[in-house]
Amino acid sequence: MFITFEGIDASGKSTQIKLFENYLIQHNFKVIVVREPGGTKLSEEIRNILLSKENFNMVKECEIFLFSASRAQLVREVIIPKLQEGYIVLSDRFHDSTTAYQGTGRDISLDDVFVIHRIAIDNCIPDLTYFLDIPFEESIRRKKQNNISPDRIESMGKEFFERVREGYLQIQKREPERFKVINGVDEPEEIHKKIVEIFNNKLNSQKEMI
């Protein structure tokens, strides 16, 4: 199974991925965690270019191709081979980030975004996606509390992040079976329980299909 985690910054993705990875290991699944942009040597180099504040003048067309180039490499070098070996692959962000940030956020037409996805990921679409939904103000509060300095994209303002959140919610309307919205403001243990419950439901429905 290929499972992705989405959300605006400081939505708690890393905490939840760690908890879920531990759960899967305890239940004898083979599991690997990757992150986007990144996850291969080449993709990590692209990540540095994408997030560096020195590249403040990067145009949105360059940005979407770089995110997608990083993803194309990760899919073919790591994700597909690991899925074929029977691993559960957990990814911290994937193509929905591009749809929400570059599509709805930066206003690149979704038709164009979908064409780029088709080239970058081909048929490697997640089986399940968790969107940890928090308000922009909560994201700012958590980042201040943890003294996190924003990268190039995180430095964008409230309006941008509201469009990004709207973009995510639109994905849920298009693909409710795959894309699960979870209230990211709940306690981490509560969120973890929901993630496990949704996963087990998915697993059972896949077993029934076999």
Interface with ligand TMP (CB under 6 A): 9, 36-37, 51, 67, 93, 97-98, 101-102, 153-154
Q: Which residue's CB is nearer to ligand TMP, number 153 or number 182?
A: 153
The token duo for 134 is 């928090």
Please state the closest distance from residue 101 (CB atom) to ligand TMP, in A.
Answer: 3
Please state the closest distance from residue 153 (CB atom) to ligand TMP, in A.
Answer: 4
Count CA atoms closer than 13 A to 106's CA, side-chain side. Answer: 18
Please state the closest distance from residue 152 (CB atom) to ligand TMP, in A.
Answer: 8
Q: Which residue's CB is nearer to ligand TMP, number 76 or number 203?
A: 76
Q: Which residue's CB is nearer to ligand TMP, number 49 or number 203?
A: 49
> What is the rounded distance in angstroms from the CA atom of residue 89 to the CA atom of residue 2?
5
Q: Nearest 5°: CA angle at 142, between 14 and 16?
A: 20
Q: Which residue's CB is nearer to ligand TMP, number 16 or number 97?
A: 97
User: Closest Cα to residue 65, out of 22, 29, 108?
Assistant: 108
Q: Strand pairing partners for 90?
A: 3, 33
| Chain residue at closest Cβ approach to ligand TMP | 101
Question: Any alpha helices (H) in 54-157, and if so which ranges?
Answer: 60-74, 80-84, 95-97, 110-121, 136-145
Please state the closest distance from residue 16 (CB atom) to ligand TMP, in A.
Answer: 13
